Amino acid sequence: MDLGTGPMMAAEYQARRQRLLPPEEPSAPVLLVGTHNAVAARIAEEAGFDGCWVSSLEISATKGIPDRNLLGAKEMIDVAQTIRSATTLPVVVDCDNGYGTDLAAARVARELHLSGVTGMCIEDSAFPKRNSLIKSVDRSLESREAFAGRVARARAATGDDFVIVARTEALIAGLPLDDAIDRAQSYAEAGADIVVVHSNGGEVDDLWEIAKKWTGPARLASIPTAYTDVTLDELGHAGYGMVVYANHLLRGALATMTRLAAQLRRGGQLSALTGLAPIQEVLRLSGEPGVAAA
Ligand code: SPV
Ligand code: MG
């Protein structure tokens, strides 16, 4: 491992894009995982994931702020660049609602594209958005036409090789399934490569119904955080071409840090601590030359 990849060449850009959007419909879903920093991205790459998801929830949490449009576009671009240069995986950045306006969405799309990031996700929540996994929140959405216009602006700002994931929060806002699918259809027609009809724990049958009804000109993706018994195979068989496990590495790290903090605070022998990566692993993942896997 070295200091990471340098400026992005066209061939490398295309290689990353094709991993995210293979020319042939893949037999299994393209699988992304939330990576909140460079080390997480390297772990994801070694584990065999197809891409990195830079989650607004995870990055907000690591900065100690709630996931409600407080994270600025420039902050996300900075994190995305760090992650992009630490891995050869494609990186998709969760840009909330595109930061509230069509021009802001177009600008962040262009900046991400220029910095070698493979794609971004934008969702149709009105500004300020709230995290989708919080229940009992009144939510308002951009109109279907307005948000389709935002997708089109982002597309026009980047050209065809930047991957745009458009996500509707319609189900989470309490709209019927058919309205959600109609929204996704409009966003696909406006230039999205991939669409997500996001859901935070409604009936699992909704996942299958969405896939059955989907005829739009874009691949379908799922962020199945709330559906903890659904497998990757089941999503693939239903017709999902991409799956995003958005927050699980950070949650694992938080649980481990909490346990270790309590144990360390009690004092005692450090040799009694369990579940620690060896120092050699920290050195290796940081890119220290000549350090092999422990
Ligand atoms: C994120 O990971 O920030 C997402 C997915 O947008 S969710 O948390 O389900 O909103
Ligand atoms: Mg998010």
CB of 168 within 6 A of ligand 1: the answer is no
Q: How far apart are the first and last CA of the chain?
A: 14
- Does ligand 1 have an atom closer than 6 angstroms to the CB of 33? no
Residue 244 dihedral angles phi and psi, to the nearest 5°: -120, 115
What percent of the chain clears pLDDT 90, i.e. is strictly above it?
A: 92
How buried is 228 (Cβ within 10 angstroms: 0-12 exposed, 13-18 middle, 19+ buried)? exposed
Q: Which residue numbers in the chain have pLDDT < 50? A: 1
Q: What is the DSSP letter of 163?
A: E
- pLDDT score at 2: 54
Whether residue 225 has its Cβ less than 6 Å from ligand 1: yes
CATH 3.40.30.10: does it fit domain 10-246? no
Per-residue pLDDT tens digits for 157-214: 999 999 999 999 999 999 999 999 999 999 999 999 999 999 998 899 999 999 999 9
Are 46 and 281 a contacting pair, CB within 8 Å? Answer: no
Domain with CATH 3.20.20.60 in the chain: 10-246
Q: Which ligand is nearest to the CA of 249?
A: 1
| Measured distance CA(262)–CA(267) in Å, rounded | 9
Residue nearest to atom 5 of ligand 1 (CA): 246
Count CA atoms closer than 13 A to 188's CA, side-chain side.
Answer: 18
Q: Are 4 and 37 in contact (CB under 8 A)?
A: no
Q: What is the pTM of this model?
A: 0.96
Q: Give residue 7's pLDDT.
A: 59
Active-site residues, by number, are 67
Q: Is the CB of 246 under 6 A from ligand 1?
A: yes
Q: Which atom of ligand 1 is nearest to the CA of 198?
A: 9
Q: What is the predicted pLDDT for the residue at 24?
A: 86
Q: Which of 59, 71, 94 to mutate to test the pocket of ligand 1 (most atoms within 8 A of CB)?
A: 94
Q: Residue 8: its pLDDT value, please? A: 72
For residue 244, give the ligand nearest its CA.
1
- The residue among 38, 32, 40, 29 whose CA lies nearest residue 252 is 40
